Amino acid sequence: MIKQCENPLSQSESDLISVYRELLRIRRVEERFSKKYAEQEIRCPMHLSIGQEAISVGISKYLTNEDHVYSGHRSHSHYLAKGGNLGRMVAEAYGKLTGCCGGRGGSQHLIDLEVGFMGSTPIVGGTVPLAVGDAWAAKLKSNGCVTVVYFGDGCFEEGVMHESMNFALLHKLPIVFVCENNGYSVYTKLADRQPPRKMSDVASAHGMNTYNGDGNNVLDISEMASDAINRARSGEGPQFLELQTYRWLEHCGPNDDDDLRYRPVGELSHWKDRCPIELLKVKMFDEKIITEHLVKNIEDEISKEIDDAYEFTLNSPNPKPSQMGEYTYA
């Protein structure tokens, strides 16, 4: 049986520094992707989570390698926060044989079974019932493990989402549903797709224990995640988190798209002022937990790690045409 965990963000200054480092690491990895994309060597679609990093970091602090995570198309932060191998993720984006899917899946298909990241797919809602099945297996095995599934506000409009929540409630499964509500499904804002309500209220109407909060405040997320994961692990059934956040870049791709004007004027700048990394950084400077020297050291360490991942990738072989038939079933 896996032991319940205390709130790691209340234990020591080193925990806060570790969380800051992970937030910054995810941001810098994705910024490098954005920069490299223009070189035309990454040929797969790519959905970046810049601006949304706090959710996966705040939640993953409570998960072990035995706990399982599922994700969708915008999965880089979920994969990295769960401990997924950076080099193999970069290699996958470049279509290399050493990628986490052998170069076959690209950015939207990530997996690292060693750390419990079970997979991501671009089909909206596609991994939700898989995660529920995973949680059912965990309950049947009585192994104390928890399953987490990430999805966006657009996914909440899929029928499979509600069928899955119903099944999870019926069987009181150890699963945490995490809705990253960034306010848009591609270019269509939430108010044009759903009535004025909280999605967590709909989940509550299903009978689920729910949380609703600031998806850019990693400390608030940490508090909600600690309670939700411990409840799921202790047999209280499925939990639902709705967290408000915002993607800074285009839906799919490495560029800014504010010129398309589907976002109200000033909305992007408002959310950039609420950058999850800066919010934590300011707090840590105010409390004298971090210094400019330490920030520079963290930046240098992350830059070196990313450089190493790209060196690994560029030195990795491409798949051979003769391997095209592998892993296919007919």
pLDDT of 9 higher than 80: no
DSSP codes, 96-147: -TTSTTTTSS-TT---BGGGTEEEE-SSTTTTHHHHHHHHHHHHHHT----E
Which tens digits make up the pLDDT trace of 223-236? 999 999 999 999 99
Cβ atoms of 180 and 150 closer than 8 Å: yes
Instruction: Say how far apart CA 131 and CA 121 lie, in whole Å.
Output: 12
pLDDT of residue 10: 57
Segment holding 177, helix H or strand E:
strand 175-181
Compute the average pLDDT of residues 231-244.
Answer: 98
Instruction: Say how far apart CA 26 and CA 32 lie, in whole Å.
Output: 10
φ, ψ dihedrals at 212, nearest 5°: -140, 125
Three-state secondary-structure class, residue 68: strand
pLDDT of 168 higher than 60: yes
Q: Provide the CA 293 distance to its chain's centre, in angstroms.
A: 29
Instruction: Tell me the pLDDT band of 43, cut-offs 50, 70 and 90.
Output: confident
Three-state secondary-structure class, residue 309: helix
Which tens digits make up the pLDDT trace of 45-92? 999 999 999 999 999 999 999 999 999 999 999 999 999 999 999 999
Average pLDDT for the chain: 94
Instruction: Tell me the pLDDT band of 5, cut-offs 50, 70 and 90.
Output: low
Compute the average pLDDT of residues 176-180.
Answer: 98
Instruction: Say how far apart CA 86 and CA 76 lie, in whole Å.
Output: 10
Three-state secondary-structure class, residue 239: strand
Instruction: Tell me the pLDDT band of 330, cut-offs 50, 70 and 90.
Output: low
pLDDT of residue 326: 85
Instruction: Say how far apart CA 190 and CA 204 lie, in whole Å.
Output: 19
Residues 6 or more apart whose Cβ sits within 8 Å of residue 16: 9, 280, 284, 289
Residues 6 or more apart whose Cβ sits within 8 Å of residue 206: 162, 165, 166, 169
Instruction: Say how far apart CA 15 and CA 225 lie, in whole Å.
Output: 16
Higher pLDDT, 130 or 255: 130
φ, ψ dihedrals at 111, nearest 5°: -160, 140
Distance separating the N- and C-terminal Cα atoms of the chain = 40
Instruction: Tell me the pLDDT band of 3, cut-offs 50, 70 and 90.
Output: very low
pLDDT of residue 1: 44
Enter the tokens of residue 213.
């909060």
Instruction: Say how far apart CA 155 and CA 162 lie, in whole Å.
Output: 10
Q: Hey, what domains does the chain have and what are their CATH numbers?
A: 8-316 (3.40.50.970)
Cβ atoms of 312 and 90 closer than 8 Å: yes
Q: Shortest CA distance to 135 belongs to which of 160, 170, 106?
A: 170
